[in-house]
Amino acid sequence: MQERVIEKAAQLLESGACARVLGWKTGEFFYDVTPAVFTSAQQVRQEMVFSPFCGANLSKYLIAESRKEGKVGVFLKPCDSFSFVQLQKEHRILRENVYAVGVQCQGMSDIEALKALGLRGITAVQAEEDRLTVSTLYGEKTVALEEALSLRCRSCKSRALHDCDELIGDQGRDLDTDRFGEVARLEAMSPEERFAFWRSQLSKCIRCNACRNVCPACSCEKCVFDDPNSGVQNKAAADPFEEDLFHIIRAFHVAGRCTDCGECTRVCPQHIPLHLLNRKLIKDMNALYGPYQAGSDFDSKPPMLTFTQEDPEASIITEGRGIQ
Amino acid sequence: MQMNQEFKPTIVAFCCNWCSYAGADLSGTNRLQYPANVKIIRIPCSCRLNPMFILRAFQRGADGVILCGCHPGDCHYTTGNYYARRRMTLLFSLLDYMGIERQRTRVEWVSAAEGAKFAATMNDFVDTITKLGPNRRLEDLRCKSE
């Protein structure tokens, strides 16, 4: 897969079809893969990678890149392609300036998942089909990719590639995984337990804003949290209230637009399961206003931008009747 | 504040200009009683209520927040309260999910003719919050004076 991706990127640049290509390159460590813009085939052959650590969703970079001169090539995994469609729906991406190459994905791994398997001193990881060969200081070990999946990929919603000009690998389909199991487990707790759970998670927040900056849905040019008059200090551990405020508003502002790509959880340096907030909203909207998947098509109306006269009243929550 | 004092909650009521604010007015002119700890904030339409306003109210000392607007179908701007209904349902559900007491928030539709309903709603809401006690889960200690 890696060879085909790199060859395609080099070909796009050599043929002049694209002026720039968005892909991934290795950061400080081999597992620390970061998005990058390539401008020459030589650069692509030297630096570009496509490994099980390429979790980063490239679609958000298209907001800026598609407005620059010349065409931009981009590699999209299935979950990235949902964001790609959603951003087009919001008129944020100039589609005519983008050449999208869909890359089929078997699920992404991350270093935390490998460490959780008891592997220490990892020096390199080689991927073949559905297995990872992990070289460590203590020898080589083979693990199934399925065991080493990152948290979000364990409940992958779909492997369908949307709106791509070309595919590498086959067109996938929607998967039937238990996406809302963890949310349901939290819902079954008492309010005290839920409060304790979220306090223990959100109190770890260092307000680095990575979850906001990486989120393809959270792409306003002006953000409420950047307003110096907002009264929000934007600092770590200012007050428990500010942690709650930030995460409630962050999740709520992307309600109905979140494609559930899980980038927020992937980038969180404190390992806060932020996707559980977004998934709760998705679960509720599905139950209250009918099934909706952001970014799966161009025509459906987002639930928060429409209404029906028969919508349930807020009292179903406040009187504790619950969402059926 | 004296510690042995009886707990008197602070309630913030966001009222839409066209129905509920007039409803509150009517309950006043009819000399109906409702507790003085309800602070009314007038908004142009119930859908003007930004979720941030609710959280801010809790931050600055509210123990309960209620949104009052025109009955569905009667919005001055035709459809504003339908959007407000979806937003508030979703927001309250998220707050409940995070362990904030669900009784602290409420939405009630009060028309300009329903002065009695306004007073009854406020009496009931203040009762509920008094029993529930002060807001501890969404408070900001920096905003506490004394």
pLDDT of A320: 85
Instruction: pLDDT band for A6, please (50, 70, 90 cuts).
Output: very high
Cβ-Cβ contacts under 8 Å, B98 against chain A: 194-195, 198, 244, 248, 277
> Which of B58, B98, B109, B141 would best serve as a mutation to test chain A binding (most A beta carbons within 10 A)?
B98
Q: Which residue has the higher pLDDT, A85 or A227?
A: A85
Mean pLDDT, rounded, for A141-148: 89
Q: What is the mean pLDDT of residues B84-96?
A: 95
| pTM as predicted | 0.92
Mean pLDDT over residues A1-10, rounded?
91
Closest CA to A243 of A234, A231, A254: A234
- Contact (CB, 8 A) for A241 and B59: yes
Contacts of A277 in chain B (CB under 8 A): 94, 97-98
pLDDT tens for B30-68 read 999 999 999 999 999 999 999 999 999 999 999 999 999
Chain B: residue whose CA lies nearest to A196: B99
In A, which residues are within 8 Å of B141 by CB distance? 239, 241
Give the confidence band of A217 by pLDDT, cuts at 50, 70, 90. very high
Asked whether the predicted pLDDT for residue A236 surpasses 90, the reply is no
Is-contact A152 A129, C-beta < 8 A?
A: no
* Range scoring the smallest mean pLDDT among A18-32, A173-187, A223-237, B41-55: A223-237
Among B83, B89, B105, beta carbon nearest to A312:
B89
Chain A: closest CA distance from residue B11 (Å): 16
Which residue among A244, A311, A318 places its CB closest to the CB of B92? A318
| Whole-number percent of chain A with pLDDT over 90 | 68
Mean pLDDT (whole number) for B64-79: 95
What is the pLDDT confidence band of residue B132, given thresholds at 50, 70 and 90? very high
Higher-scoring residue by pLDDT: A246, B141: A246
Note whether A314 contacts B85, CB cutoff 8 Å.
yes
Of all residues in chain B, the one with the smallest CA distance to A187 is B97
CB atoms within 10 A of CB B21: 23
As given in the structure block, the two tokens for residue A273 are: 């399961």
Average pLDDT across chain B, whole number: 92
Average pLDDT over residues A157-164: 92
Q: End-to-end distance of chain A based on CA atoms, in angstroms?
A: 44
Residue B145 in this model has a pLDDT that exceeds 70: no
* Residue A124, SS3 per DSSP: strand
> By percentage, how much of chain B surpasses pLDDT 90?
87
Tell me whether residues B102 and A318 touch, CB distance under 8 A: yes
Taking CB atoms and an 8 Å cut-off, how many pairs form between chains A and B?
118
Is the separation of the CB atoms in B90 and A255 below 8 Å? yes
Reading phi first (left if > 0) and then psi (alpha if -120 to 50, else beta), residue A227 is in beta
Contacts of A195 in chain B (CB under 8 A): 98-100, 137
Residue A307: which of B79, B90, B98 has the nearest Cβ?
B79
pLDDT at B85 over 90: yes
- Segment A216-233 shows an average pLDDT of 84
How far away is chain B from the Cα of A186, in angstroms, using its nearest Cα? Answer: 8
Q: Which of A6-15, A55-64, A132-141, B7-16 has the lowest mean pLDDT?
A: A132-141
Q: Where are the domains of chain B?
A: 11-132
Tokens at residue B85, please?
A: 């209904």
- Using left for φ > 0, alpha for ψ between -120 and 50, and beta otherwise, residue A129 falls in left
Q: What is the ipTM of this complex?
A: 0.91
Determine the pLDDT at residue B139. 87
Residue A93, pLDDT score: 94
| Residue B61 C-beta-side C-alpha neighbours within 13 Å | 11
What are the tens digits of pLDDT across the range A286-300?
Answer: 999 999 999 999 999
Residues of B within 8 A of A237 (CB-CB) are: none
pLDDT beyond 80 at B144: no
Question: Which residue does chain A place closest to B73, by CA atoms?
Answer: A309
| Domain spans in chain A, listed from the N-terminal domain onward | 1-108+152-177, 110-148, 179-324
Closest CB from B106, B107, B140 relative to A241 = B140
Q: Residue B4 pLDDT > 90, yes or no?
A: no
Euclidean distance between CA atoms A21 and A24, whole angstroms = 10
Residue A240 has pLDDT above 90, yes or no: no
User: What per-residue confidence (pLDDT) applies to B113?
Assistant: 95
If you average pLDDT over every residue of chain A, what do you get?
A: 91
In chain B, the residue whose alpha carbon lies closest to the alpha carbon of A192 is B99
Name the B residues in 76-135 with CB < 8 Å from any A CB: 79, 82-83, 85-103, 105-107
pLDDT of residue B118: 96
Note which residues in 211-250 of chain A have CB less than 8 A from chain B: 224, 231, 238-239, 241-242, 244-245, 248-249
Q: Which fold has domain B11-132?
A: Rossmann fold (3.40.50)
